[in-house]
Chains A and B, each alone.
Chain A
Amino acid sequence: MALAFDEYGRPFIILKEQDQKTRLRGIDAQKANISAGKAVARILRTSLGPKGMDKILQSPDGDVTITNDGATILEQMDVDNQIAKLMVELSRSQDYEIGDGTTGVVVMAGALLEQAERLLERGIHPIRIAEGYEMASRIAVEHLEHISQKFDFGASNIEPLVQTCMTTLSSKILQLNKDFSEDDTLISTSVNRCKRHLAEISVKAVLSVADLERKDVNLDMIKVEGKVGGKLEDTELIYGITVDKDMSHPQMPKQIEDAKIAILTCPFEPPKPKTKHKVDIDTVEKFQTLRLQEQKYFDDMVQKCKDVGATLVICQWGFDDEANHLLMHRNLPAVRWVGGVELELIAIATGGRIVPRFQELTPEKLGRAGLVREKSFGTTKDKMLYIEHCANSRAVTIFIRGGRFSLSPSIWFKPTCLLSFVVDDHSLGNKMMIEETKRSIHDALCVARNLIRNKSIVYGGGSAEISCSIAVEAAADKYPGVEQYAIRAFADALDSVPMALAENSGLQPIETLSAVKSQQIKENNPHYGIDCNDVGTNNMREQDVFETLIGKQQQILLATQVVKMILKIDDVISPSDY
């Protein structure tokens, strides 16, 4: 990249290694940036909505992910282009803040860029476009506020929350199942039940950890676990914790009712000073005493636990066979090597205290759980420990099962393996299924959390976007100056979301959109959207398709922000090997 030339046309060397750098400037830079952004949006466009398709992503080490979650797709695509990276971050921000709508935000940004390109070709200054977009986004956000509805819910009335979570889930895992529902109506109904089931679980989980007064929800308190096998319907909410561990001794009881749990962070072994130490043993007697002392330690420790009335010991560290034997002998079930985070969650769920050494064990510090049981799954050797029916369930677990319908992914991969029902292959499919369910549940949890923060909702199915588009279009005429064009372009870009929805659902995009739009204007009702599931009505209110207001607002604002940033760049300097 040469910045200047002398009289003979030879470049000055002004920058370090300047001949190895490339530079794009002016309109070329903008065009290149826009097309990069558009390319990313195009990839995600087909994943939007309840009929959106999934993507298979294979990582460098061969791990396969199937998902239609925008943030996940972009994360795993490992894009290199800088502008594309901005789009990835855009989606990630939406994920961090809202948790849902990660695809929509990218599609929206892509549409804005596409419109901007046209305006640029007409010679409008990029910053004027950006400013116009910004004005338009403000109009749209205000309009959303205007058409939003507040609803009430409480611990007893969770229906509205469940409905909103269902809208989120409908574009996720469920749709993966639906593809197979055609041959079997029975499955289809169970799938619907399953969607509702998952939504209910999510809402209940959030409500049980929520601090309704402070409107604060710490999602760390909800543990999402998955295990291959069973059906999706078997997914359950546990008011307590599951740990992927089993009892330290195979002969210990597998089920404990009304357990009193001692939660320990010290190992069952003689305590060691942290300072470097050495014990000099020079006589046989001394050795004997040491041995006896060690044995006494074990004995004391177990006795201590017994004395305070513990019926289960959960230990962060391991203990050797001697201790294990003693515990078994004294009929004190124990679990070892439980991770710090799980230990904490157990303490929170059972209301116990974490005890750092045996001397401090007191009956008050024990946690209580209605039922602790070890459960094994199917024919596998996997065992899980359930700690449930806890008195204070400030920490809950969502335990995902799945796999029955999900033979499908494995079939897609290896058609030849159709008959060879190999466990590996099978579980590969299941694992992906569970991972995807986890992501979907995460989205649903976020939606429920957002609703607790802000009770307003808008209607989904593209209805909110169409309504905003109408409002922005109408407002555009009031603005003098070049920005007017940009505002109109923004309205067009808003249409692209319902358009993509219609496209993905196999409807005629233009026809459907214009029909819905005219219906909205004619009846002055912002609830008409795209009927993706072919239910027969366009009224999203009747269909119970909700989205959170803050989620939608965030989408529009974030997309505008990033587009503005991209438009503002007129000079790209990069090492040319990139």
Chain B
Amino acid sequence: MASMLQPQIILLKEGTDTSQGKAQLVSNINACTAVADVVRTTLGPRGMDKLIHDDKGNVTISNDGATIMKLLDIVHPAAKILVDIAKSQDSEVGDGTTTVVLLAGEFLKEAKPFVEDGVHPQNLIRSYRTACNLVSLFPPPPSSHGLDVAVVFMSLFMLNVLHNGQAIEKIKELAVSIEGKSLEEKKSLLAKCAATTLSSKLIGGEKEFFASMVVDAVIAIGSEDRLNMIGIKKVPGGNMRDSFLVTGVAFKKTFSYAGFEQQPKKFTNPRILLLNIELELKSEKENAEIRLSDPSQYQSIVDAEWNIIYDKLDKCVKSGAKVVLSRLAIGDLATQYFADRDIFCAGRVAEEDLNRVAAATGGTVQTSVNNIIDEVLGTCEVFEEKQVGNERFNIFSGCPSGRTATIVLRGGADQFIEEAERSLHDAIMIVRRALKNSTVVAGGGAIDMEISRYLRQHARTIAGKSQLFINSYAKALEVIPRQLCDNAGFDATDVLNKLRHKHALPSGEGAPYGVDINTGGIADSFANFVWEPSVVKINAINAATEAACLILSVDETVKNPKSESAQGEAAASAMGGRGRGGGFPGRGRGMRRR
């Protein structure tokens, strides 16, 4: 070949790995599909958990997509995008992290045959974007669903509204429900959403119990945006049902000095003083040195130091507070001083706990003990030190402002509580989302089927390649119900056919039908209270489409060689398959310069 005779032009540093072209694209898709396969089995109420063991010996057992993706420690540059969207879903909505990865994987998988057939990726990208917009913007389609439904998910109810006059009232009630309902009704509706999230988790067996706990906690903090006002404390031992919610603050007994046990451990309506200073006998100034020439003055210096600390303590006592908390140490001297005066104190309280106490009791954290006025003292109905499992807990309950809540989680093993915490976090996020964004959709794959049906219908109105692509997008959405069936061990094809049939009913009454996880058939998810906030789905579909488009638009990877130290061993393995995908003869062979 002629090119052989010419000297090679070296552009990049020695060892740089580049690969490009269609093959690169296909191999990126493969990598993403492989990653999506890892989390695939965790979807849904019959989803399984993963046990991941890292190099340091930390073990995590989780069902949460984002957590798993993070722990997998993915290095493949394209596959990393999936990790990012899982994370973004986690921070944006908190739940649906598995869904988003799965959808992205499926979109790519559907795109692969087109890419292999030589479709330009940009075409695909454009169609996918359109489809995604159709889903989330839902422009008035020509059919009877000509609704300005900002949320397609709402279309479920609306469809019913249009087609089934009977159901109108009921569904409207359910859909717009959360606004303006009495507190009790609101709670039970929110609990339904939380329960749907929890059903796929380890604590699914007690989902009602935890759902109502989560709802109470979220309602307790009210419109407060700061999530850290809900504290989650983990105490190993006991069973799940021993978990409890404190409408106030609870934290583990801090390190205490001798004399602590002589303090009273229960107060009703105490005044609470919150400090951020050290109450300890110590040198007031660093690097200061006292020089004495007259030994008789010695005592006066000693006394002066004692007076400083006593003065501080005295001011605390005079403020009328019965409970003194400090973020910094409260020394043994102070502990005994307070014990003598029937005051409870705790030093080295974690900052977030102290802030929570401040918010709950209406007190303010003081950095000095001078001029303590009544307004800065907090109060609560009951303060108590209680035994929880093997630990002693300080519990402040019945707080006036009530803008905090603490969930004390119990469970059989550390891993268990860790996972429970992650699950509760998801549920809390969902409930908060549902509170703000008061639309819910039917879960159990019903909504995905409905969107899929709508897109297929829409595709038929398009002439041109785009029709194919939107159809494949629609097909990809079916992965959610399919995977739900697969995980539960049902015949996915069978169930999916039933679902398609139901959803295609012209009356539209089949819209809320999803997979019935108990019998292996289909059921009205809406009636069975399998609900999800619509924002979860919107975000999931948007993020997954974005990720898929991003991966489709990449056609070259340039990878710099590893730095010297790591190169030795890595080189061997890197040789293997780094997306070179040399399977295509002729065109598209990656150029490799070594």
Contact = CB atoms under 8 A, between A and B. Distances in A.
Contact of A11 (B41, B299, B332, B576): B576
B237 A6 contact: no
Contacts of B392: 218
B298 interface: yes
B573 A19 contact: yes
A55 B304 CA distance: 60
A476 interface: no
Contact of A14 (B31, B260, B305): B31
A436 interface: no
Contact of B581 (A7, A265, A282, A561): A7
B413 A12 contact: no
A280 B283 CA distance: 20
A273 B413 contact: no
A565 B415 contact: yes
Interface stretch (B70-78, B357-365, B370-378): B70-78
Given A93-B413, A561-B412, A277 B292 contact: yes
B288 A276 contact: yes
Contact of A82 (B35, B51, B75, B266): B51
B141 interface: no
Interface in B297-349: 298-299, 301-302, 304-306, 332-333, 336-337, 339-340
Contact of A279 (B79, B292, B416): B292
A8 B582 contact: yes
Contact of A273 (B63, B205, B290): B290
A381 interface: no
A381 to B, nearest CB: 28
Contact of A3 (B38, B59, B416, B578): B38
A290 B299 CA distance: 11
B258 interface: yes
B113 interface: no
Interface string A297-336: 0000000000000000000100000000000000000000
Contact of A573 (B53, B237, B260, B583): B53
B484 to A, nearest CB: 12
Contacts of A573: 50-53, 72
A127 B260 CA distance: 48
B266 A214 contact: yes
A3 B583 contact: no
B172 interface: no
B69 to A, nearest CB: 11
A344 B260 contact: yes
A188 B406 CA distance: 53
Interface stretch (A146-154, A191-199, A352-360): A352-360
Contacts of A95: 237, 390
A156 interface: no
Interface in A328-349: 340-341, 343-345, 347-348
Interface stretch (B163-171, B238-246, B538-546): B238-246
Nearest to B305: A273
Interface stretch (A83-91, A371-379, A413-421, A518-526): A83-91
A221 B260 CA distance: 12
Contacts of A94: 237
Interface in A432-477: none
B13 interface: no
Contact of A354 (B33, B46, B73, B259): B259
A481 interface: yes
Contacts of A243: none
Interface string A270-290: 111111111111100010011
Contacts of B49: 565, 568-571
Interface residues of A, number: 88
Interface residues of B, number: 99
Interface string A547-578: 00000001001100110110011111111001
Contacts of B48: 126-127, 568-571
B587 to A, nearest CB: 16
Contacts of A125: 46, 488-489
Given A15-B73, A89-B415, A276-B289, A356 B332 contact: yes
Contacts of B289: 275-278
A568 B202 contact: yes
Contacts of B41: 570-571
A148 B74 CA distance: 54
A274 B305 CA distance: 8
A569 B61 contact: yes
A13 interface: yes
Interface in B23-37: 27, 30-31, 33-35, 37
A10 interface: yes
Contact of A274 (B282, B287, B340): B282
B236 interface: yes
A159 interface: no
Contacts of A565: 49, 61, 202, 412-413, 415-416, 419
B226 interface: no
Given A8-B583, A90-B412, A565-B61, A13 B257 contact: no
Interface string B396-439: 00000000000000111111100100000000000000000000
Contacts of B296: 289, 293
Contacts of B565: none
B27 A286 contact: no
Contacts of B260: 344
A499 interface: no
Interface in B444-500: 488-489
Give the residue among B51, B281, B414 with the most A Cβ atoms within 10 A: B51
Contacts of A11: 576-577
Contacts of B387: 216-218
B118 interface: no
A16 interface: yes
A353 B392 CA distance: 23
A275 B305 contact: yes
Given A353-B262, A564-B202, A565-B49, A15 B75 contact: yes
Nearest to B580: A6
Contact of A357 (B241, B295, B306): B306
Given A86-B415, A277-B290, A293 B295 contact: yes
A68 B389 CA distance: 23
B281 A265 contact: no
Contacts of A561: 239-240, 411-412, 416
Contact of A85 (B59, B79, B236, B238): B59
Contact of A12 (B30, B337, B411): B30
Given A15-B72, A96-B389, A286 B291 contact: no
Contacts of A29: 51
A282 B293 CA distance: 8
Interface of B: 27, 30-31, 33-35, 37-38, 41, 45-46, 48-55, 57, 59, 61, 63, 72-76, 79, 202, 205, 236-242, 257-262, 266, 281-285, 287-296, 298-299, 301-302, 304-306, 332-333, 336-337, 339-340, 386-387, 389-390, 392, 410-416, 419, 488-489, 518, 573-574, 576-583
Interface of A: 3-8, 10-16, 19, 29, 33, 82, 85-86, 89-90, 92-97, 125-128, 130-131, 134, 214, 216-218, 220-221, 265, 270-282, 286, 289-290, 293, 316, 340-341, 343-345, 347-348, 353-357, 481, 554, 557-558, 561-562, 564-565, 568-575, 578
28 contacts: A7-B582, A14-B35, A14-B74, A15-B76, A16-B73, A16-B75, A82-B51, A86-B413, A93-B238, A125-B488, A127-B45, A130-B205, A217-B387, A218-B387, A274-B282, A275-B284, A276-B288, A286-B293, A290-B295, A293-B295, A344-B258, A344-B262, A354-B259, A356-B336, A565-B202, A573-B72, A574-B51, A574-B52
Given A96-B237, A354-B336, 6 more contacts: A3-B38, A16-B74, A93-B411, A343-B258, A568-B48, A569-B51
> Across chains A and B, which 7 residue pairs bring their CB atoms closest together, nearest first?
A7-B583, A96-B237, A4-B34, A574-B53, A96-B390, A570-B48, A89-B413
